[in-house]
Structure 1
Amino acid sequence: MLTKDLLSYSLKSTRIIPHFIDVDAPPLLQFAEQLLAIFDADSGKTREAIETEAELYLQGQADLKFAKGLYKILLDHANFTLAEDNAGPRRSAILTAAAAQLKGTAPQTLQQYRDAVAAQSQQVIDTPLYPDLPAFEQLTRIKSFTPRQLLQRYNMAQVQALLLSTQSLTLTTNDMSAANLRRIFKCLKFFRLLAEIKQSKDKTTVVIDGPLSLLEGSRKYGLQIASFFPIICLLEQWQISAKVQPKRAVKTLKLDESAQLISHYRHMSAYVPEEVKLFAKHFADTVEDWHFVAESPFLKRPKGRLIFPDFTLQHRSGVIVYLEIFHRWHRGPLTQRLEELEKMKEPLILAIDRFLLKGDWQDSIDSLDNNRHFLFSEYPTVSRLKKTLDGYLARESDQSVGF
């Protein structure tokens, strides 16, 4: 993503307005093509060579901030590797031999001196002495872009960089079919975001709330929101509003589909975080009487609100239980869920990060039914989940027979 010094925007009262480029402008397309030609993965160019060559094109641009931003995007998508990993011993041998030659009888010519150093060190001295420095890293791979796609990515990066400083984002759309809603929810989970979703007859509102304190990982949460944003741009109709703070003052960022931002994400619904895969596999390997259900339904709440559980589990008897996980940055959503859990008829269990016990609601959590929640550190454990599920099942069985 772009750094603050590469952002281009204007301020208007309480609003912040990103400066987007015309992705069809011939001069910009030509410049993008020139930069792409420099990043030729088959050339074996060093980082230093790429920087030197690119600088000639960067200085020729009227908008240097834009030029540097486009160049940074390419650098972020490039892979470099060291030309020589174990250069230390070779360098030490050459420098030791060079010092010894200077202390002795000095050779008459530079070439004689070089030959003497090479002979004493038994090393080739015609190659760089410091090939393990970043400047000598070699380009091995670069993400494939067309010039127009690179310019599109620049516009997207402008918004994402602004969203790094946000703690909340509100999305409004009337393009929320059941399929789109499920994709949005899956992507929210993938990026470890929790959101409140409200549906009415003509629109859907998604409010993503972040931490209430900078001490609780706001910067990281802003990165997650920024990473999620391109998913929104897959919708045909959308509007967002977010409070951002590129400098000292907080400003409102408002955008909609008229910005013509093109998402670079595809098939995000197929992605699952690695820890989720491991958790599900461990559960399946160790628990016999419960199993995960492939799709979790939406749980409807008053005033059109929706809850999308992280997991749906089914007992071999047919009993279904939903699991919702609250990580340390989910303080806001957890507050609401604690207020309504005991009144909910749906079989919902909460997994709560112990970090959140630092809040002022210790009594609220202590008063919860132990069969409706459990605590964890970093990520829920299979043993704690199974114990809570079994407790919930036993309680439901007792109630069904009138105990």
Structure 2
Amino acid sequence: MLPSELLFSVKRGAQVYPRFLRREQHVWAEQVLRLLGEHRQRTRGELDAALRALEGDSPDYRIVRGFAHLALNAAEFALAIGELEPEALRREVFTRAAERGGYGEAQAREVLEDVAPRYRLEAETLREALYADLPENHLLVALPEFTADQLIDRYNLAQAQGLLYSALYLRLTAHRNVPGEYRRLFQHLKFHGLMYAVEGHLDDGYQIYVDGPASLFKQTRKYGLQMAMFLPALLRVSRWEMEAVLQRDGAEFSYRLDSQSPLKPLQKPPPAYDSLLEETFARRWEKLGTPWTLEREVEIVDLKGTVFVPDFALRHPDGRLVHVEIMGFWHPDYLRRKLEKLRRAAMPDLIVAVSDRLNAGADDFHDVPGPVIFFKGKLEPRQVLAILEPATGISLI
């Protein structure tokens, strides 16, 4: 992300918006990356001087600095002297100089020539190595792995994130037309330590209220930074809206973004399925020829402090809706947490499919209200269909 001094925003009444790049400003991204390419295996000090020269007296100098900040954070620098330790070298050279006494270039040269052979270095190379650990002396050894267009996307996202530094709370809306992303959305909320509550339903979308520190004790920039770091996860949902309340200069402002903004995800989309077991079940279901349509992770059950997102939903043309949760990962803590969620969710329309690898039996699921089936190897879709449409003609609702 970007430091506050490199952020741009626009106020319109009680509304505040990030200022994204204009088309004519995109050229700076290519020039910054070009300079980095020209300074590979050169010192950071030389690169910094070249970047300052690029700024010149341009009114876009802060944009150049923003591009440089993001690019340098993605680059890699290293000491120019390999495994030598400059601090130890300084200690030895300065101790030797103190023992010899005297000052001046001649005395310094004598000390360097005396110490250098121990490290198989020339005297002048040793002189340079003494301060190789200073940032300006680090060598640029690896360039950022993104293009100018991707750097532009990073810059615009950083501007959008920057406004959230002062966020008091967020209200997010995620629509159900994006299968498979709800669970990851809540994983990111949890990873960044954000408190939230969920309202809404499958058809109209879910309202996710992300609480901020002001409602608890006081605003902290650290919590705002966590909100800002969460924003890229929201870009994975194809239909979303975000409204944030910010506190700036003693006043509150509203900040709105939605999926029509120019922001783009920075990484490739994750796999559609969390496991091969789920993917195989979905592919086999499509070949079954049943009117039940399989949908991926579309229901959110708020458990007050966490959420439960079943793996699949099965929808019938007559309006019936049933959910499926596949348990195939073996770990004692996983089993404990999953069972706790199933009990709290208390969903009678949830089919729980349990792998024999899980080392669990029917007694473990006695207080889970929905049907529980056990399978070996791969989950056969017909096992699930037998519950949906049993021979008796009674269908699960």
Whether the TM-score (by the shorter chain) exceeds 0.5 is yes
Q: SS state of the match for residue 103, structure 1?
A: coil
Return the letter of the residue paired with 1:234.
R
Cα distance between partner residues in 2 of 1:172 and 1:226:
17
Cα deviation code 1:312-369 (max 9, x no counterpart): 89799x9995446xxxxxxxxxxxxxxxx7xx7459xxxxxxxxxxxxxxxxxxxxxx
Q: Distance in 1 between matches of 2:240 and 2:219?
A: 28
Q: Secondary structure at the match of 2:172?
A: strand
Percent identity between matched residues is: 27
CA deviation vs aligned residue, 1:120-168 (integer Å, no higher than 9, x gap)? 4446431323112122122232332221221121110011122133242
1:126 to 2:124 alignment: yes
How far apart, CA to CA, are the structure 2 residues paired with 1:41 and 1:216? 47
1:260 and 2:265 correspond: no
For 1:15, give the aligned amino acid.
Answer: Q
Q: Is the 8 A contact 2:40 2:143 kept in 1?
A: no
CA distance in 1, matches of 2:42, 2:272: 36
Change in Cα spacing, 1:212 to 1:248, as seen in structure 2 (3 Å) is closer
SS in 1 for 2:260: helix
In structure 1, the gaps of 5 or more residues are 273-294, 325-340, 348-388, 398-403
The change in CA–CA distance for 1:215 and 1:137 in structure 2 (over 3 A counts) is farther
Where does residue 146 of structure 1 map in the other structure? 147
* Equivalent of residue 66 in structure 1, options 63, 69, 72: 63
Q: CA deviation at 1:258?
A: 3.3
Q: TM-score, normalised by structure 2?
A: 0.62
- How far the C-alpha of 1:266 sits from its partner, in A, is 2.4
- Kindly state the Cα deviation for residue 270 of structure 1 after the two structures are TM-superposed: 8.3
CA positional deviation for 1:86? 0.9
Q: Alignment partner for residue 78 of structure 1, among 63, 75, 78?
A: 75
Whole-angstrom distance in 2 between the partners of 1:209 and 1:29:
36
Residues in 2 aligned to 1:233 and 1:313: alpha-carbon distance in whole angstroms: 27
SS at match of 1:176: coil
Residue 94 of structure 1: aligned partner: 93
Contact 2:297–2:310 (8 Å) recurs in 1: yes
C-alpha separation between the residues in 2 aligned to 1:73 and 1:178? 32
Kindly report which structure 2 residues correspond to 1:246-395, keeping only aligned pairs within 5 A, or say none.
Answer: 246-268=248-270, 298=299, 300=301, 307-308=307-308, 322-323=339-340, 345-346=346-347
Q: Distance in 2 between matches of 1:271 and 1:14?
A: 42
**Residue aligning to 1:37:** 34
Query: Could you tell me whether the CA contact under 8 Å between 2:172 and 2:209 is conserved in 1?
Result: yes
- Structure 2: tracts of 5 or more residues without a match: 275-295, 312-324, 349-359, 369-397
- Quick check: 1:98–1:117 contact (8 Å CA) kept in 2? yes
Letter of the structure 1 residue corresponding to residue 111 of structure 2: V
Gap change, CA 1:68 and 1:247, over 3 Å in 2? farther
Residues 227 and 270 (structure 1), Cα distance of their counterparts in 2 relative to 1, 3 Å cut: farther
Aligned to 2:279: none
Judging changes above 3 Å, is the alpha-carbon distance between structure 1 residues 101 and 310 closer, same or farther for their aligned structure 2 residues? farther
SS, match of residue 267 in structure 2: coil
